[in-house]
Amino acid sequence: MRSDEIAALLDAGNHDAAGRALDKALTHLHGSGETRELCALHQLALRYWQDDAEQTAFHCTHAYIYALEAGDEVTTRALHAALAEQGRI
């Protein structure tokens, strides 16, 4: 399942299905080199885990790294700012 499909699950309030889909997609794409999709998935995980500071930091860090690898300067700046706000950078 791609990030846009998982986003639709989150938007629809289908939290459990979104969590299962996120886990499966992240596991499947790990090491694939699809940095933009991995960044998008980790950003969705930020939404999914929004009430858990440790999970949020984990996924924000990973999204940041994938944004750097993808050369996405806008996303990199936004994620850097989020990490700085959390005191992680």
> pLDDT tens-digit profile of 41-73?
999 999 999 999 999 999 999 999 999 999 999
Distance CA 70, CA 47 (A): 21
C-alpha span between 82 and 25 (Å, rounded): 24
In contact, 44 and 72? CB cutoff 8 Å? no
Number of domains within the chain? 1
DSSP letter (8 states) at residue 32: S
Q: Specify the pTM.
A: 0.92
pLDDT reported for residue 74? 98
The C-alpha atoms of residue 10 and residue 21 are separated, in whole angstroms, by: 10
- Whose structure tokens read 């699950």? 9
**pLDDT, position 50:** 94
Segments forming the whole domain that contains residue 26: 3-85
